[in-house]
């Protein structure tokens, strides 16, 4: 089975490739069909945005290929679930990871003594050759630190401390994150599905 990952993000392709290792699945980046097309992520949920991305790439992929898209983000309880589906562009359409983190820490500073509980959430959409969609969801509970800590990872990793740990994903490194992350949990459900489908 060939699965093409619907993203232009090299971090995500590598992470998904590692998480799907050992299944006998051929994982490819969107580069095999000329790159990921521009998609307006206009959905109000992670599932809706994942389907938009998968459908855009499905139109370019070979008839037998499967397409896997994910939409994920950070939900902070004190901010009523923000940044949510806007996680990648929280500080603006062209915002950098550092700008998004700064925006979040500033917003939380204005929330006073509210709990800093949060979760990363991920929804995967696997689109089959006939357009059939399967969804897989995962989350990782934790909290937001008051300052950035650690240089590993990307996105909000340096300010997110997973439940049961005293270090951020930015400090814990890739191997720990792969065990705990929202994407890892979603891929675990996907792996179960693919193993049954084999």
pTM equals 0.88
CA dihedral 189, 190, 196, 198 (to 10 degrees): -160
Does the pLDDT value for residue 127 go beyond 90? yes
Q: What percent of the chain has pLDDT over 90?
A: 71
Average pLDDT over residues 178-189: 89
Q: What Cα–Cα distance (Å) separates residue 3 from each residue in 54, 136, 186, 187?
A: 11, 15, 16, 13
Does the pLDDT value for residue 197 go beyond 80? no
- Return the domain boundaries, the chain: 2-197
pLDDT of residue 198: 58
pLDDT tens-digit series, residues 14-24 = 878 888 888 88
* C-alpha count within 13 angstroms, C-beta hemisphere, residue 129: 6
Q: How far apart are CA 40 and CA 119, in angstroms?
A: 24
pLDDT of residue 81: 96
- Position of tokens 């980046």? 29
Q: What is the CATH number of domain 2-197?
A: 3.90.950.10
* Strand-pair partners of 29: 5
Q: Which of 70, 71, 97, 157 is catalytic?
A: 71
pLDDT tens-digit series, residues 148-165 = 999 998 899 999 999 999
Sort residue 196 into left (φ over 0), alpha (ψ -120 to 50) or beta: alpha
pLDDT tens-digit series, residues 24-67 = 888 899 999 999 999 988 999 999 999 999 999 999 999 999 99
Does the pLDDT value for residue 82 go beyond 70? yes
Cβ-contact 65, 2 below 8 angstroms: yes
- Position of tokens 């490739």? 17
Query: Is 97 part of the annotated catalytic residue set?
Result: no
């Amino acid at each position: 089975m060939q699965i093409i990952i619907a993203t232009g993000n090299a971090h995500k392709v590598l992470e998904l490739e590692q998480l799907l290792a050992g299944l006998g699945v051929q994982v490819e980046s969107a580069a095999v069909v000329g790159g990921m097309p521009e998609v307006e992520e206009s959905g109000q949920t992670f599932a809706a945005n994942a389907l938009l991305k998968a459908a855009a790439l499905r139109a370019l992929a070979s008839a037998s290929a499967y397409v896997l898209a994910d939409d994920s983000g950070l939900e902070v309880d004190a901010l009523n679930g923000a940044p949510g589906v806007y996680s990648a562009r929280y500080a603006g359409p062209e915002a950098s990871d550092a700008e998004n983190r700064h925006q979040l820490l500033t917003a939380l500073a204005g929330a006073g003594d509210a709990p800093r509980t949060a979760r990363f959430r991920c929804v995967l959409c696997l689109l089959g050759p006939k357009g059939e969609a399967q969804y897989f969801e995962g989350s990782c509970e934790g909290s937001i630190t008051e300052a950035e800590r650690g240089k590993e990872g990307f996105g909000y990793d340096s300010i997110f401390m997973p439940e049961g740990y005293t270090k951020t994903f930015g400090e814990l490194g890739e191997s720990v994150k792969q065990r705990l992350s929202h994407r890892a949990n979603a891929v675990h459900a996907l792996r179960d599905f693919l193993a049954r489908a084999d």
